[in-house]
Structure 1
Amino acid sequence: MHDIGDDHDGEPHPHGEDHAREDARWKHDGVRVIPGDRLDPNTAQTPGMFRQAAINAARVGAQRIWAGTVAIEPDAKTGVHHHGALESVIYVVSGRARMRWGERLEYVAEAGPGDFIFVPPYVPHQEINASTDEPLHCVLVRSDNEAVVVNLPEIEPVERPETVPWIDPIHRHP
């Protein structure tokens, strides 16, 4: 570690004040650590799913990426949707994820702990917790900071979304 105003070799920097400003900028605008117990639940929520933001514009100034977590209740299913031009990556921490996709959701794949799921832009899909009794925990990363969800009610889901109560602090169980 070096003192403000010194070069890395310990010699005084000829532009001490500029260097001090640069150090302060890097300290506050450089690498950020977001503790896992300080994620932001003020995100778009879906019945049966609880999303929390770790990385976004409001929290760290991210311009082209969003990252956070999602906890999905047992047997919870989304409706059919896509995320516009966004690319999404889902990392399964625990539980079993089932993804259905295609023009009629004719394709299906499952993923377990340690697996990654890639969802390309504009792909109609449905996210499902494949377990009827265990929660599913994932890390989610999207290629933009704006949440884009285009619901596709004209596509009949193979697995009907269940009526699952909202589980975020704003919406209470009926």
Structure 2
Amino acid sequence: MSGSHDHTHSHDHHHDDERWKHDGVRVIPGNQLDPNVPSTAGMDRKAAINFARVGAQKLWAGTVSIKPDAKTGAHHHGHLESIIYVVKGKARMRWGEKLQFTAEAGPGDFIFVPPYVPHQEINASRDEVLECVLVRSDGEAVAINLDIEPVEKPETVLWVDPVHRHPDEKK
């Protein structure tokens, strides 16, 4: 790069120091995640990063522990992108118009779910808890339950939270 840059600033550094002290980087200790997230039997979801906790405008991040054999129903998240990082256990993802495609992920693997893709999340283990970190591209809760005939029927235990609503719940 060529050219010179003027690094002189004409604003009050003392004021900026105070603002950044409180509005800068935030560390959310793992033992201080917010358990006040709608859940159901078979899962334990906790919020780490969202608007309410840190003022995040474009992201939601948290953890989820899913009991063995638990599954969601078929759904998609509209315009949102989702990333799932598997910490422990084995995740099985099904996707497609009839959930005919499948892939599995283990510890250290990342799963990317693009916008509008019909999918189903499954704990592929019958005896081990699945522990994941979940990140979404918006704090907005978007989930569209789909009435399709999946290859693998969901169990009676559904993942229910602001994004994965119970099928009987009114909006």
Can you give the 5+ residue segments of structure 2 that lack an aligned partner in the other structure?
1-9, 162-171
Equivalent in the alignment of 1:104: 98
User: Shift of the alpha carbon at 1:42?
Assistant: 2.1
Answering whether residue 156 of structure 2 is matched by residue 156 of structure 1, we say no
Q: Give the secondary structure class of the aligned counterpart of 2:56.
A: coil
Partner Cα separation in structure 2 for residue 24 and residue 73 of structure 1: 45
Distance 1:47 1:124, change over 3 A: farther
Partner Cα separation in structure 1 for residue 102 and residue 49 of structure 2: 29
Structure of larger gyration radius: 1
Partner Cα separation in structure 2 for residue 86 and residue 58 of structure 1: 19
Partner Cα separation in structure 2 for residue 120 and residue 105 of structure 1: 15
**What's the RMSD between the two structures over aligned residues?**
2.0
Write out the 4+ residue segments of structure 1 that deviate beyond 6 Å after TM superposition: 165-168
Q: Using the aligned pairs only, state the percent identity.
A: 76
Distance 1:143 1:74, change over 3 A: same
Aligned residues of 2:71 and 2:158 also touching (Cα < 8 A): no
CA-to-aligned-CA distance 1:99-140 (integer Å, 9 cap, x gap): 000000010000000000000000000000000000000000
Partner Cα separation in structure 1 for residue 43 and residue 152 of structure 2: 16
Answering whether residue 51 of structure 2 is matched by residue 68 of structure 1, we say no
User: Shift of the alpha carbon at 1:163?
Assistant: 2.3
Q: TM-score, normalised by structure 1?
A: 0.82
Q: Quick one: which amino acid aligns to residue 67 of structure 1?
A: A
Can you give the 5+ residue segments of structure 1 that lack an aligned partner in the other structure?
1-13, 169-174
